[in-house]
Structure 1
Amino acid sequence: MRYDKPELRDMLAAKYALGTLRGAARLRFEHLVLQREDWQNCTDWWLMRVSLLADTVVAVKPASSVWRDIDRRLFPAYSRTRQWWRTLALGFSAVSALLLVLLINPALNPLQPPAQQTQTSGIHIALLADTSAQPGWLLTLSQLQRQSQELRVASLPGLQVQADKAYELWLLPADQSAPVSIGLLPQQGKASLSIKPELAAQLLTGALAVSVEPPGGSPSGQPTGAVLYQGKIGVI
């Protein structure tokens, strides 16, 4: 097998990060990663990418049938007795709930309307790349609360670190108004940038750009250095 092919390296690293590379193939891959730095960098990039995507997925409660199947497989002899008690407990709960509804006066304790769902479907993500299509950062837009959002940022292995400079992220509004600073991007590792709700809405319609600035960011509030990376938030 030709281990010098970038396509093969990328494919195996992606399968490893997703957990679909198994058995002897997974052991060979892990041994190869320990021996070659380029394979290690590629694997780290995929692990970071999958981890960042996993952080944006909203937790979903499994169906009751899933728990019953797990229970049945782990405790086959005990599950039937447990199911009888569970059914009895549900019956008492239903009766208690019915009595509670009959006793409470809705006029004295009106029900509050449920909070409106503000999280849009899908994952908002952007890959910032340079003119040669070399990616530098992976971004995801996450909603924390109804009035709070953040932009999660992960630097990628191909990013060129500049110790005496700073990378600043800018929003380029769709109406072609002046760029708006989002914040400084990490040159290594991950970071989170707080986003105002009105700015988050513009992020979905505008574009993103990264300029090279002095340490601490642009002194003028507008890009002063070369714009090296660009991207746009999309939904997957």
Structure 2
Amino acid sequence: MIPDNQEEQRLLIAEYVLGLHRGEQAVEIERWLAEDEQAARQAAYWREHWVGAAELLEPARLPPGLWRRLARETGIAVPWWRGLWQSTPAWRFASAALLVALVLAVGPLRQPAPVYTVVLQAPGEAAQPGWRITVADNGDLQLTPLAQQADYRADRSVQFWTLENNAEGPRSLGLVEPGRSLVIPAEQVGGVESGQLFELTLEPPGGSPEPRPTGPVLFIGRAVAL
């Protein structure tokens, strides 16, 4: 049964995207997503961010005893999960799902330093991801292109911004060369929190003449804690 509470709906969609619902319940959720445009947008949001999270994971062999614990705590048959190890992309997505399932079922195994990811998209609901931001536990930020970058005129610059709170306004993180990765040290990035806004704008050569964006937004997204 689909809950009426919006927060419960959001959690239900996140669990469904991670593959934590099966059988009749999954069919009911699929029917709901097909009929409810807002719910479908939330599902697209979760798919985008879980895949971004899974890309950060590196393969590691788990001890046999942990498989038995996972089967006992989550009720998922072990052979079903072992089949995913034959594919690296499938393994990464399954690992992200497994991590969230464990947190929901038995609580976090440890409390790591926070790591954030941001997927920057061009404005518009149907836009494809253009850049990915990852913030390491030491505070360093890496900006990585995800798609073919447009060629901009030589008399224009692409500028990187973040907005920590509305009272202080946006803060420049420097200029970006389209199609090339960029690493920004922690002292320049400053603190990062969940929901923090990041964007790339098209500015005059050398950057915005004001301490704020003056040109159109090219890509925009918000930080998600992993």
Q: TM tier, shorter chain?
A: 0.3 to 0.5
Q: With structure 1 as the length reference, what TM-score do the two structures score?
A: 0.44
Q: What TM-score, normalized by structure 2, do the two folds share?
A: 0.46
